Structure 1
Amino acid sequence: MTNFIPVFPLGIVVYPAEKLNLHIFEPRYKQLITDCFAEAKPFGIPTVLENGVNEMGTLVEITEVVEVYDDGKMDIKTKGLQVFKMLELIKEIPEKLYSGAIVTYPENNMRQNNVMMAEIVLLVRELHRLLNIEKDFKKQDNELLSYDIAHHIGLPVKEEYVLHGLLLEAQRLKFIKNHLKKVIPVIANTESLKKKIQLNGHFRELGGFNF
Structure 2
Amino acid sequence: MTNFIPVFPLGIVVYPQESLNLHIFEPRYKQLINECVEQKKMFGIPTVLQQKVGELGTLVRVTEISKTYENGEMDIKTEGVMVFRILEMVKTIPGKLYSGAIVNYPENIQDAGKRDLMQRVLDGIRELHRMLQVQKEFKKPDDQLVSYDVAHHAGMSVEDEYELLGLWQEVQRQEFLKRHLVKVLPVIAEMEQLKEKVKLNGHFKNLSSLDLDV
TM range (shorter): over 0.9
Q: Which residue is 2:121 aligned to?
A: 120
Secondary structure of 2:136's counterpart equals: coil
% same residue: 59
TM value normalised by structure 1:
0.97
Q: Are 1:23 and 2:20 an aligned pair? A: no
Q: Are 1:131 and 2:127 an aligned pair? A: no
Residue identity opposite 1:108 in structure 2: N
CA shift, 1:154, in A, is 1.2
Secondary structure of 1:118's counterpart equals: helix
Q: Which residue is 2:95 aligned to?
A: 95
The separation in 1 between residues aligned to 2:35 and 2:63, in whole angstroms, is: 14
Secondary structure of 1:45's counterpart equals: strand
Superposition map of 1:1-211 within 5 A: 1-112=1-112, 113-210=114-211
CA shift, 1:206, in A, is 3.5
Structure 1 runs (4+) deviating above 4 angstroms are: none
Secondary structure of 1:134's counterpart equals: coil
The separation in 2 between residues aligned to 1:5 and 1:201, in whole angstroms, is: 61
CA-based RMSD of the aligned residues comes to 1.1
CA shift, 1:207, in A, is 3.8
The separation in 2 between residues aligned to 1:193 and 1:52, in whole angstroms, is: 37
TM value normalised by structure 2:
0.95
Residue identity opposite 1:53 in structure 2: V
Residue identity opposite 1:145 in structure 2: V
Unaligned runs of 5+ in 1: none
Secondary structure of 2:56's counterpart equals: strand
Secondary structure of 2:184's counterpart equals: helix
1:56-112 CA-to-partner distances (Å, cap 9, x unmatched) read 000000000011111111110000000011111111111111111111111111111
Secondary structure of 2:161's counterpart equals: helix
Residue identity opposite 1:121 in structure 2: L
The separation in 2 between residues aligned to 1:99 and 1:210, in whole angstroms, is: 76
The separation in 1 between residues aligned to 2:50 and 2:122, in whole angstroms, is: 32
The separation in 2 between residues aligned to 1:21 and 1:189, in whole angstroms, is: 35
CA shift, 1:210, in A, is 4.8
